[in-house]
Amino acid sequence: MRTAAVAAAAALLLASCTSGEGDDQSGGPAGCDTGKGTLVIGVIAPLSGAMVAQGRGIENATRLAVDQANEDCTVNGYKLTAQVQDDGMNPKLGAQAATMLATTPNLVGVVSTLNSSVATSVAPVLDKAGILQISPANTNDQLTRGEDFRENPKRQFRTYFRTCTVDSLQGPFAANYLVENAGKKKIAVVTDGLTYGEGLANTFVEQAENKGATIVTRQRIEPGTKDFTKLVAALRPFEPDAVYIGGHYPEAAPMSAQLAANGLKIPVMGGDGIFNDTYLTAGGRDGDLATSVGAPVEDLDSAQAFAKAYEEAGYQEGFGAYGAFAYDAANAIIGALATTVGEDKWSDSKRDDLVANAGRYQGDGATGKVSFDEFGDTRNHVLTVYEQRAGAWQAVETGEYVD
């Protein structure tokens, strides 16, 4: 997903690294034998910047999984703790965070990252160290299967997995709905130039054109853009009947508002990067559309159980679009860890076994069945289209992409 050059994030990361802010300092779980010590599950997510709400959801959901595992004495003889690092949506800060975690004693795995562009710098660091990484939110196909992922897929990082599905499915799923269901034929495409946005837009464009739509223009904006006067002027001559954005809600929401204010009262559609409640209040309009990975919470009993536990835990922030996927990622790490440790003691020499057990992991998660294919991708390919109606996201179609 998204990255941005956030200068202040470097200072925030340094502060969190040196102060230990965000680390779980609670005592051992009652009734469990924790005599073997403490094992660490890392988190790398944006805890500063425009996407902080999503980052906090990932952090909190991971903590929930850790707390539940401690209550259930899941890993024999050990207490689990979460250690959290802020990547500020910045690949360089992400690499620093990964390097710090890689040197943390008794680190067993990392739930990370939100942004695909950050993952491109984090995954090599963790992979070189042999550390298990499971992302709840990266959707760019190249992270698991390489640049030529359609014709010649090759696994890129042995230790990298993800619980969310990929853009090569999400983009076409959106195109099918916008062209066939919404009847839009003249579509303008806007991207933010980042790994997530460009990859998602590419897959959308290909399928939209296959379905008979015309991409009337493709424009690029800079991350952090707030004034879309030039974009409106660039789009107007093409008279599009919809805009598809490969990007995120901090830009997409005000873009939608400014399009309408300047006479282009047409729907804006995007991927999971705009599926956030902030979009609804920052300029999003009724009729705008978003796809997101997975099924709506209300459609899954397992997701409702997660949502209830999350609420009862008292976190200040909502779990957002990726909290359930982070919860499943953390539980996959914990489940694989329990199998790997068994009655023995953990050591870094067991990292290869842990990665292998993660590859074999099968569980009933908040998002449904959790398991991984030979590339580390989830086998759960469910997607949902949401429409903004009366100031809220309403699910309008759920399923798997079928060509």
Q: Which two tokens stand for residue 333?
A: 């790490």
Residues 6+ apart with CB under 8 A from 370: 163, 328, 331, 332, 361, 362, 363, 364, 378, 380
> 38 and 79 in contact (C-beta within 8 Å)?
yes
Q: Let me know the angle formed at the C-alpha of 320 by 391 and 65, rounded to the nearest 5 degrees.
A: 155
Distances (CA, A) of 170 to 36, 101, 181, 310: 44, 31, 16, 27
Per the confidence metrics, is the pTM higher than 0.85? yes
Break the chain into its structural domains and give their ranges.
7-165+298-372, 167-293+383-400
pLDDT tens for residues 303-348?
A: 999 999 999 999 999 998 899 999 999 999 999 999 999 999 999 9
pLDDT tens for residues 254-312?
A: 999 999 999 999 999 999 999 999 999 999 999 999 999 999 988 888 899 999 999 99
Say what the pLDDT of residue 29 is: 55
How much is the average pLDDT of 345-357?
98
What amino acid occupies position 110?
V
Instruction: Tell me the DSSP string of 196-219.
Output: HHHHHHHHHHHHHHHTT-EEEEEE
Residue found under tokens 């890689």: 102
Say what the pLDDT of residue 402 is: 77
* Residue 72 main-chain phi, psi, to 5 deg: -90, 0
Say what the pLDDT of residue 292 is: 95
For residue 28, name the pLDDT band (cuts at 50, 70, 90): low
Distances (CA, A) of 25 to 22, 29, 329: 9, 12, 22
pLDDT tens for residues 47-96?
A: 999 899 999 999 999 999 999 999 999 999 999 999 999 999 999 999 99
Is there a common fold for 7-165+298-372 and 167-293+383-400? yes
For the domain covering 7-165+298-372, report its CATH number. 3.40.50.2300
> 43 and 82 in contact (C-beta within 8 Å)?
yes
Say what the pLDDT of residue 376 is: 98
User: Looking at the DSSP assignment, which residues form a beta bridge with residue 310?
Assistant: none
pLDDT tens for residues 131-171?
A: 999 999 999 999 999 999 999 999 999 999 999 999 999 99
For the domain covering 167-293+383-400, report its CATH number. 3.40.50.2300
Reply yes or no on whether the pLDDT at 388 is more than 80. yes
Share of the chain above pLDDT 70, in %: 92
For residue 11, name the pLDDT band (cuts at 50, 70, 90): very low
Say what the pLDDT of residue 17 is: 37
pLDDT tens for residues 178-198?
A: 999 999 999 999 999 999 999
